[in-house]
């Protein structure tokens, strides 16, 4: 195989190979990664390293987490998604439903503006809270972590990484994550290949490139933050939000929206989660879209909203830090 680096934001590969990557946070760029591959003449240059099987971590090049030192190799496109889109959607709906019902003081007014078919699903809420004033008097504590633990059986939090040079990371602070479970979402503005992202990408380690070239800017600071807030506000349906902006803060209303802080694995720290792309279907309930931490750069995008989830490769115990492969090769 021949691999050629064409620019910082694009990697040219053979026609039968697709790639997915995340901007290296303080580590090697995709271009540096490919130059190392060409220098060693193999995709897996570590001496004594066995060629990985399907969906296995491949040690390569660096050995330092946070750098382009490991990759995930998938021999067939059909094997890239380990869990189905239906399973992903069911998991999100389960959590979002719990978040919605725990946020009654903010939802009651908007519920009255939704179609009757939607209102009928929450008749107990509308009956209990007859007005905004009554809702405030009966306000429940909105506890995203409680909703997460109740529905998914675990809680994830950002904290200082166990790797001294990696900055912040994401940990399982409560409970246990079963294999094949959605653990995080990668938040940010979604760009098609032809949309402008040059200025946002400068010195930005949070650019995620999907297999089909769609880009997600997961930076919660600077111009990236301003653009996300602007696009989210643009897409509001009256008083109703269609995306979540709280992932830009330290207290996200959707506790899954911390996936951009998951660090890269290494030879010492194996990957325990992987990235899986998911297009939000048109049938996704309107009342739950407020918890999706993604928004299209253009309001007239002709394709479904792209989300990227991090899914557990194995059972993950309480106290463990999450590690992913920043580079995926799909043949």
> Would 159 be classed as within a structural domain?
yes
> Would 125 be classed as within a structural domain?
no
Owning domain of residue 319: 4-86+143-330
> Would 118 be classed as within a structural domain?
no
Task: Judge whether residue 230 has pLDDT over 90.
Answer: yes
Task: Judge whether residue 126 has pLDDT over 70.
Answer: no
Planar angle of CA 248, 251, 253, nearest 5 degrees: 85
Summarize pLDDT for 61-99 with one digit per residue, the tens.
333 333 444 677 887 777 788 899 999 999 999 999 999
Output the pLDDT for position 55.
36
Output the pLDDT for position 322.
97
> Would 277 be classed as within a structural domain?
yes
Output the pLDDT for position 115.
77
Output the pLDDT for position 84.
95
Output the pLDDT for position 154.
98
Q: Which comes out higher in pLDDT, residue 112 or 271? A: 271
CATH number for the domain including 156? 2.170.270.10
Output the pLDDT for position 328.
83
- C-alpha pair distances (Å), 282 with each of 3, 164, 279: 37, 43, 9
Planar angle of CA 293, 8, 52, nearest 5 degrees: 80
Q: Are 18 and 28 in contact (CB under 8 A)?
A: no
How far is Cα 104 from Cα 132, in angstroms, rounded to an integer? 10
> Would 75 be classed as within a structural domain?
yes
Residue 135: DSSP 8-state: H
> Would 181 be classed as within a structural domain?
yes
Band (58; pLDDT cuts 50, 70, 90) = very low
Output the pLDDT for position 59.
34
By CB atoms closer than 10 A (0-12, 13-18, 19+), residue 329 is: buried
Q: What percent of the chain is modeled with pLDDT above 70?
A: 75
Mean pLDDT across 270-285:
94
> Would 203 be classed as within a structural domain?
yes
Task: Judge whether residue 273 has pLDDT over 70.
Answer: yes
Mean pLDDT across 303-319:
96
Say how many domains are in the chain: 1
Residue 316: DSSP 8-state: B
Output the pLDDT for position 130.
55
Among the ranges given (4-18, 120-134, 194-208, 275-289), the one the predictor scored with the smallest mean pLDDT: 4-18
Identify which of 214, 194, 195, 216 has the alpha carbon closest to the alpha carbon of residue 205: 216
> Would 293 be classed as within a structural domain?
yes
How far is Cα 243 from Cα 231, in angstroms, rounded to an integer? 9
Output the pLDDT for position 289.
94
Mean pLDDT across 16-32:
60
């Amino acid at each position: 195989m021949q691999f050629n680096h064409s620019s910082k934001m694009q990697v040219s590969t053979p026609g039968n190979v697709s790639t997915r990557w995340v901007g290296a946070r303080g580590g090697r760029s995709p271009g540096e990664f490919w130059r190392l591959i060409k220098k060693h003449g193999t995709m897996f240059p570590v001496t004594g390293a066995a060629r990985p099987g399907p969906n296995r971590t491949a040690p390569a090049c660096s050995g330092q987490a946070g750098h382009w030192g490991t990759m995930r190799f998938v021999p067939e496109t059909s094997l890239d998604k380990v869990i189905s889109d239906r399973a992903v959607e069911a998991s999100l709906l389960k959590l979002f439903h719990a978040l919605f019902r725990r946020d009654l003081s903010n939802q009651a007014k908007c519920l009255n503006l939704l179609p009757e078919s939607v209102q009928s699903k929450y008749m107990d809420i509308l009956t209990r809270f007859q007005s905004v004033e009554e809702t405030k008097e009966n306000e429940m504590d909105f506890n995203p972590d409680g909703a997460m633990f109740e529905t998914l059986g675990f809680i994830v939090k950002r904290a200082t990484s166990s790797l001294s040079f990696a900055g912040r990371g994401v940990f399982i602070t409560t409970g246990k994550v079963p294999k094949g479970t959605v653990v995080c979402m990668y938040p940010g503005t979604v760009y098609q290949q032809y949309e402008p992202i040059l200025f946002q990408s400068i010195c930005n380690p949070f650019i995620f490139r999907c297999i089909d070239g769609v880009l997600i800017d997961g930076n919660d600071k600077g111009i990236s933050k301003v653009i996300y807030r602007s696009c989210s506000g643009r897409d509001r349906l009256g008083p109703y939000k269609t995306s979540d902006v709280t992932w830009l803060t330290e207290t996200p209303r959707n506790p899954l929206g911390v996936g951009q802080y998951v660090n890269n694995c290494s030879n010492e720290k194996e990957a325990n989660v992987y990235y899986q792309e998911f297009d939000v279907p048109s049938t996704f309930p309107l009342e739950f879209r407020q918890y999706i931490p993604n928004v299209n750069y253009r309001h007239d995008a002709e394709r479904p909203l792209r989300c990227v989830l991090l899914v557990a490769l194995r059972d993950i115990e309480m106290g463990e830090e999450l590690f992913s492969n920043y580079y995926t090769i799909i043949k």
